[in-house]
Amino acid sequence: MKKTINNNKEYKLLIKKIFEKPFTFTFIAFVVLCIVMGIVSDSFFTTGNINNIARQVSVNAIISIGMTMVILTGGIDLSVGPVMALSSTFMAGAMISGVNPVIAVAIGLLTGIIFGTVNGLIISYGKQPAFIVTLAMMEIARGIALLYTGGYPLSGLPDSFGFIGKGKVIGIQTPVFMMIILYIVAFVVLNKFVFGRYVYSIGGNEEATRLSGIKVKKYKMMVYIGSGFTAAAAAMILTSRLMSGQPNAGTGFELDSIAAVVLGGTEMTGGRGHIIGTLVGAFMLGVLNNGLNLVGVSPYTQRVVKGLIILLAIYISSSRDNKN
């Protein structure tokens, strides 16, 4: 009898330990979602559809890397969608003007870095609220993109540029390959480097981190630079896939990236989360959108479903915090 009680206690402790991982619930929900979608649609588990999901998810997943770092510090970046659009149009405009695609990509990436730097400077050193600053930068970036293009897409890009969005590297779609590489880098940086420990520490208790001698302003600025860079990297993929620079690209992408981060178990208050959880969250959103499209659910209904799932994720996250 005692042995049975001990076994039950050990089992409960094991289950509790598993669910203490911030992205465990999301991973289980993701597996269940895939099974359900496979049941309701015969075409869900086809190779073509799986490749399509991975390709579509790659853009949001890459943006979400930078967003994860920002949210881990207790911040937010609402400008990622418009920054993505601006980087896209600058890349496309440069190539149309005859600039080498490699240099054009560098221009686009630099655009994202500059906007991230401005966000970081105002938020960290100017001590202004991240929500307001990035909301303003969202409008500025979108406005510049529309002014630069006149509101029209910039097309006529060189065929060689299409490899980034449509090619393959060692048998893997280039966007997916880039996503994997960037997530490996982000995982190593957040878990093996001092930078990662400081990011978590700032989100956990910024004042205590500052008093311990860590340059909080510097590291907060760095995460916004990273967010600008990942937005521009995603723009490179999208621009290559569409073979045009779209001034209206990235609309709503800031919400999708925040959703992926939250679904992945990262706390909106900062200090807790995991980059792999974000990847699972991004795939969960991708599978959900794809599956609902396959069964013919209205796009308007899909938005409602997505919102309800995010609310559920936030509720579960806050419930876990209250227990702790």
Tally Cβ neighbours within 10 Å of residue 130. Answer: 22
Bridge-based pairing state of the strands 172-173 and 154-155: unpaired
Q: What is the pLDDT of residues 61-116, one digit of tens each?
A: 999 999 999 999 999 999 999 999 999 999 999 999 999 999 999 999 999 999 99
Residues 217 and 124: their CA atoms lie apart, in Å, by 5
Q: Per-residue pLDDT tens for 194-212?
A: 999 999 999 989 999 999 9
Query: For residues 276 and 23, is the Cβ–Cβ distance under 8 A?
Result: yes
How far from 311 is each of 53, 134, 251, 269, 306, CA to CA, in Å? 23, 23, 21, 15, 9
Q: What is the pLDDT of residue 296?
A: 82
pLDDT at 20 over 80: no
Tell me, letter by letter, the H, E, C secondary structure of the chain: CHHHHHHHHHHHHHHHHHHCCCCHHHHHHHHHHHHHHHHHCCCCCCHHHHHHHHHHHHHHHHHHHHHHHHHHCCCCCCCHHHHHHHHHHHHHHHHHCCCCHHHHHHHHHHHHHHHHHHHHHHHHHCCCCHHHHHHHHHHHHHHHHHHHHCCCCEECCCHHHHHHHHCEECCEEHHHHHHHHHHHHHHHHHHHCHHHHHHHHHHHCHHHHHHCCCCHHHHHHHHHHHHHHHHHHHHHHHHHHHCEECCCCCCCHHHHHHHHHHHCCCCCCCCCCCHHHHHHHHHHHHHHHHHHHHCCCCHHHHHHHHHHHHHHHHHHHHHHHHHC
The correct CATH number of 61-319 out of 1.10.3470, 2.60.120, 1.10.10, 3.30.1330 is 1.10.3470
- For the segment 261-320, what is each residue's pLDDT rounded down to a tens digit? 988 888 888 888 889 999 999 999 999 889 888 888 888 888 888 788 778 777 766 665
Residue 198, pLDDT score: 95
pLDDT at 6 over 60: no
